Amino acid sequence: MAVSLEAVGSELRCVDKSGTVYWTVSVDDLILVAEYTTNEGPFVDDYYLIFCSIEAERAVFATCTFYAEGRDATLRSLSDRLGSPLELVLCGSTAWASRVLWPSSMVGEPSFTFEIAEPRHVLNRLQRFVFGPTTERFLSDPVQRYIREKLKSHASSA
């Protein structure tokens, strides 16, 4: 189902065609913006935007397809609001790749590491035989450290 990415006031929203809101994120609560690609295209979504915020003393991740309607206008608006360009550079990637777009101190850092999942059960082995290996993604060490620092500073200022 097609979705759109919108900047409405001080919020980002991911909304489907019927108006159902999948998620909202307050721009003031954002701590990280990233992009990542998979090797699953071209017939399924293979490029995503990640918005990480702090809510109730936890890091919360909102994901939206790169192909969302309104993406460019929303990212321009968000760029202006954050005072930093959000440059998408993984557009031609056909492999698993990731990078941080914001904050500027983290730009270019990998947002995720990717690992081939080892089959744990007979069903997993069968799935791997039929569909190929499954890749899992994990927050990269620099991003984990950054989020822990943000959570600590947020808790101490609350």
Tens-digit pLDDT string for the chain (158 aa): 589 999 999 999 999 999 999 999 999 999 999 999 998 777 778 899 999 999 989 999 999 999 999 999 999 999 999 999 999 999 888 889 999 999 999 999 999 988 877 767 777 666 666 666 677 888 999 999 999 999 999 888 86
Domains delineated in the chain? 3-111 (2.30.29)
- The angle at the Cα of 77, spanning 72 to 81, to the nearest 5 degrees, equals 145
H-state helical runs in the chain: 71-82, 122-131, 141-157
